[in-house]
Every structure is written in C-alpha cells, then in structure tokens.
Structure 1
Amino acid sequence: MKHFLKIFSIAFICFLLAVGAGVYTYSKIYVPSEEQDDIGQSDKDGDGDNSSKNEEPKDPFQKAIASSKRVNFLLMGMEGPRSDTMIFASYDPKEKKVDMISIPRDTYYYTKGYENADVRKINAVYGRSKTEGSKKAVEEILGQVPVHHYIMIDYKGVEAIVNSIGGVEVDVPFHMEYFDPKDVPPLRIDIPKGKQLLKGEQAVKFLRFRHNNDMTVGYPDGDLGRIRAQQQFLKSAIKKSLSLKIINVVNTAFDHVKTDVKLTEALGYAAGLIGFDADNISMITLPGKDEYRTYNKVKLSYFIHDPDKIKELMMGIYNVQEEVIEENKNND
C-alpha cells in the first residue's frame, strides 16, 4: 500500500518545483558537490562525455527536443538504496502544461556487469550509480529525452505538505476501514464515506487504502480505481496550493526533498504558479507489459517497456507530428 503513497508524494512536490522552475535559466541552477556531473542537455557548457550536444540534430524528434523550452525532472521515492518509485515529469512553460509518466520500479534495465535477476530492474540503478545513473537510465528508456533535474522525496513529507495547505477536500467513495497490526506502527484506517476535508494523517491513509480486511469493500476496478482516486486527490491538492499559501507549501516541500534546485530560487518562481490550471496536468504510466524472465536460475517479474509506443508518446509530448517523421524518411 505504500506504493501509491509514494507516487502521490513525488507527483505533488514535482508539480510544485517543476512548474516553479519552468522558466529557470539552466546554467544558474545549483548542483550539490556530490552531484557535480553533467545535468543533461540543458547544460550550456556541454560538460560530460556527450560531445554530440553541440551538433545540429537531424532527426525531427531530436530537433524538437533541442529547441524545446521544456524542463524535465526525475522524481524518486527512495527505499534504502533503491528507487522504489520513479516519475518523469515534463513542464512546458509556454503552454503551462505538466506531463507525468510513472515508471514502474520493475522496469527491465540491464547494465553490463550486473547479471543477477534482481539488479536488472531500474530501481536498482541508484544503488550503484546514484542520481546520474538513474537519470541516464530514464533518458535511454524514453528515447534519449533529457532529464534536467532530480528530486528525491521524504515520504513523511506528504503529511506536512497537506497540513501546510490546511488539508484537502475529497469525496470518499465508501467507508474506508482497515487494520494491519504488522505495520510499524500498526495501521488503522477509519474514514467515513462522503465529501470531507482530510488533514495530513488522514490524507495519507486515504491514499494508502485498497480494500477492507475481508476484501468486501474497495475499488471495483482495483488499482485503476485507486489510481484515479489518487489523481483526483492530487489535483484537488494542487488547486488548493495555488493560493497565497504557495510560498509556505514550497518551504515545507524543501524540508522533505533532496534536489538540485535552490530553495530561494524555487520560492522566487512560486509566483509563476498563480493562474496555472490544474487541469493541464497529464498523468500516465510508461507503455509496456509485465513478463517473467529467468537469470542465473532466478525467475522474477519484470515490466518490459515498449520502445515504439514510448516514442509515439514522447513525440506527442514534444508536439512532433508523425507526418513530419515520414516526410523526413522519404527525403533521405
């Protein structure tokens, strides 16, 4: 149940920081000393081992990326040395639109020298190559779409953030009751049906709920229903945060994240959130399918991403028409 809590936490802070930094001048972004590697194609100095950054791209998709003003973030919810949740968030400052892509933790990602089954998943990349390795992995899976910045979240931050905006109004679809004595501390959920204002602790429980103990009450379409509830909660929280309290929200967020964006800079751009329409937020899951594979005699379930559908998805985000791609092929 912690999975969807982490998704909400990351997505919510992603919105606050990604939108706030939408018109940011990349060369002025502060990168902590332990993260001094190349921060992506937005680096105007072209540092790092990618010498092709200064070359004019020929592919229409790469041309669109190079000329775009979009700012791309990788949001990670950590569980020990592994990134338990990953979300790619892209903000278009011109259209004031945010596109979020959830990347399943079990997404297959192979690195030479790491042959065991459990390390062939994208959530294991952080343990061996930190944020830069994770950013590179996501860039490769998305078809060399740059990841400019990272945000790592403290899962307890969601409570503080929700409290900082005075709670979030939701319409609870059914009486949510659940008890798990094995959780630490023991988890008890008791939220009545109906429209109500949920403060931090209750909000977290709302997001964690799947079904009651005997499985007679819950979302009729399982995870899809729970995801929709989470997304509705997120948009409601965003709408409320777009107010005079936004500065407090960003302040609170920075107490619970590690990022390469300065607090003072994020606060400076927070004013740009005024007038943003929460309906301009798109939330989807990386295209692909689940599949069992065996490596070194260990069989595990992986999420196998679909490169063709991902390319189509990213072309849509960067507004590249398929006709342009076909015309380019015919002219070669």
Structure 2
Amino acid sequence: MKTFWKVFIVSFFFFIFAILLGSYSYIKSSGQKFIISIGAGEYAKEEKAQEEKDIQVKTYASLSEAFKDDSRLNVILLGMEDIRTDTIIFATFDLNTKKLDAISIPRDTYIHRKGHDRGEDRKINAIFGEHGIDGVKKAVSHILEGVPIHHYIILDYEGVENIIDSIGGVEVVVPFHMKYEDPTANPPLSIDIKEGKQILDGKKALGFLRYRKGNDNKSGYIDGDLGRIKAQQQFLKSLADKVLSYRLPLVVKNALEYVETDIRLWEALSYSRKALGIKPEDITFSTLPGKAELKRIQGRILSYFIFEPEEVKRRLEDIYNVNKESSQNP
C-alpha cells in the first residue's frame, strides 16, 4: 500500500470549521441543540424564533432552476495521493435550513476525457494531475448534473493526527482487525487496530482511514473501496457529533497550516452567521449512485465505478427540493 493521504474526514472537518470560524462560545443544551452566547437570554430566544419563522423551504420545477436560484454553498473536498485525488467529497450546505449533504465520489469513477484513452486516465482520480483543481471541479459538476461548485478544500494527511488529537480522538466501531505493514511508504506505514468499539487517536484514525486491505490481499473490506467509504462515513458521523461540541475557532487554529482552500476569511465569517445551530442530525452522508464494473481498455481489464445518471439526478432533486413531476413533464 502506498502512502494514501486519507484527508476525507479532516477535509469535511475543516469545512465545518470554516463556516463556523466566526462563532464565539457554544452552549450544548438538551436534544443536542447549539446556540451562540450573545447576551440576554430573552433576546437570544427572540432572535432564534425569528430565524425559524423566516426559514422557507422553496421548491423548484427543475435542477437548472434550482442551481440558478438556490442559496446553497457547494464545496468539493479533496484528499491527495501524490498527483491523484484519492478521495473526493461533494458537500452542499443549505445556509437557511442548516442542512448539509455530503456525497462521496469513488476515486475509480469512470469518466472519459477526449484525448485520454489509457485505462488509468479514465478514472476521475487522474484528472488533477493534468488539469488541477479546475479540472476536478468541472468533472464533479459534470457528474452531478451541472451543479455549481463554489469552493474547494485540500488538506494534507499530516493534519489528520494533529486535528484528531486536538479534540481527544474519535469513537468508532472497527469492523475487523485492521493490520497492514509497508516499510517502503514515506513515512513508513504500520496499521494495527483491533476489532471493536473504541476511541481512535490521531495516528490510529489516520490508519483507519488509509486502510484498504491486508498484506495477504485477502483480508479487508468485502466490497472494496465502497466498504471503506462506508467506514469513513461512520467515522464522519461520530466526528461531527464531537466537533460540534467544541469551541471550534480554537481547533481551527491547529488545522490552518495543513489546509489549502479558496475560502477567504471574510467569506468564512459570513457563512458562520447562518451556520450557527447546525446539529449532527442535520448532516447526511451518501455515496454517488452506481456500481463497480470491469472494463477492457486497450487490452487491459480494469475496475471502474460506473455512476448512474438517473439515480444521480434523483438524489440531487431530493437535496434541492425539485418537484419531480414538474421536472419530468416540462
């Protein structure tokens, strides 16, 4: 196994930080609700009640209409393996309802670019090396029905241990004994995590996110990369719960040096105002609809993830509150 930079979780982690960067102290109340401490209790209650009154869930006749009018914040989160994107997440946050949807896009997702006919080049993880972040944004938008992408976040793997340790670790259920050794990796890779429910520190969390299979090529996730994505999503749910109980600006300070993003400070402060109050149950994780498939390309048989456009469209229509009858009968 090479040195996979498993920044899936930390990229999302920082996304939460970024939109809450301007917040002050949080008070955790019953039902896992969070409010900002801004002064007199009655004023806070009145402001919260007015915000809830102002929230209106708007519906649209089509995705194109929703993309033009909707106020969602869309971000792609990238984890790198050298010049390849080992992890891609599309995260869309509704600034009004505080609902966040994250869609994992498998690195082997099939996408054929003109002039790039080799089998390896037909995977979405190969795009960054030649076309950079703009190329990845274009590819993700293409797969997701032309959805606009406003920002990107890239975070190197060194930040994983630092940030996870700064919040005291994350609790997960490890599905099986994860063991793998690769002394040739840079730095050397040694994963040894016992099966069962436990709190992972930064080093073990990184190993959990990097793990794919054992040295014997037999042990590991039965469904391969899709199994790893499910495990990462379990990790994210646990992380989100813990992250939202922290004084986020203090933790953000530990993450900034590891992050590359085009989210500017004033934008983060602006987003934070509307993001206050987000709860773990407001966050939904899913994987790009599709299935694994073998294809013969130039005499070689390679494994790809083939996304299903109709299912992708339906998923986005659910997120964007599109009236499906209207979209099918224009």
Both proteins in one fold, TM over 0.5: yes
Instruction: Give 2:125's aligned residue.
Output: 123
1:100 & 1:298 partners in 2: Cα distance? 33
Decide which moves more: 95-104 or 215-224: 215-224
Change (3 A) 1:292 1:19: farther
Give the drift of 1:228: 4.2
Instruction: Give 1:5's aligned residue.
Output: 6
Change (3 A) 1:273 1:168: farther
**Where does 1:48-127 land on structure 2 (aligned, <5 Å)?**
60-127=62-129
| Higher relative contact order (Cα pairs below 8 Å, separated by 6+ residues) | 2
2:83 & 2:65 partners in 1: Cα distance? 36
Instruction: Give 2:201's aligned residue.
Output: 199
Give the drift of 1:245: 2.7
8 Å contact kept, 1:20–1:272? no
Confirm whether residue 312 of structure 1 aligns to residue 314 of structure 2: yes
State the Cα RMSD in Å.
3.2
Give the drift of 1:271: 6.7
Decide which moves more: 244-253 or 269-278: 269-278
Q: Which amino acid aligns with 1:7?
A: F
1:132 & 1:211 partners in 2: Cα distance? 32
Give the drift of 1:267: 5.8
Q: Which amino acid aligns with 2:17?
A: L
1:215 & 1:302 partners in 2: Cα distance? 19
Give the drift of 1:205: 2.7
Please list the CA deviations of residues 40-86 of structure 1 after superposition, one character each: whole Å capped at 9, or x if unmatched: xxxxxxxxxxxxxxxxxx96221122111111111111222222211
8 Å contact kept, 1:251–1:267? no
**Where does 1:1-332 land on structure 2 (aligned, <5 Å)?**
5-17=6-18, 60-172=62-174, 178-191=180-193, 196-209=198-211, 226-263=228-265, 265-266=267-268, 269-270=271-272, 274-328=276-330
**What SS does the corresponding residue of 1:255 show, helix, strand or coil?**
helix
The count of residues paired between Structure 1 and Structure 2 equals 292
Give the drift of 1:89: 0.7
Identity of aligned residues (%): 47
Instruction: Give 1:40's aligned residue.
Output: none
Give the drift of 1:254: 2.1
Q: Which amino acid aligns with 2:107?
A: R
Give the drift of 1:224: 6.1
Change (3 A) 1:169 1:148: same
Unaligned segments of structure 2, at least 5 residues: 23-59
2:213 & 2:125 partners in 1: Cα distance? 27
Unaligned segments of structure 1, at least 5 residues: 22-57
Decide which moves more: 147-156 or 187-196: 187-196
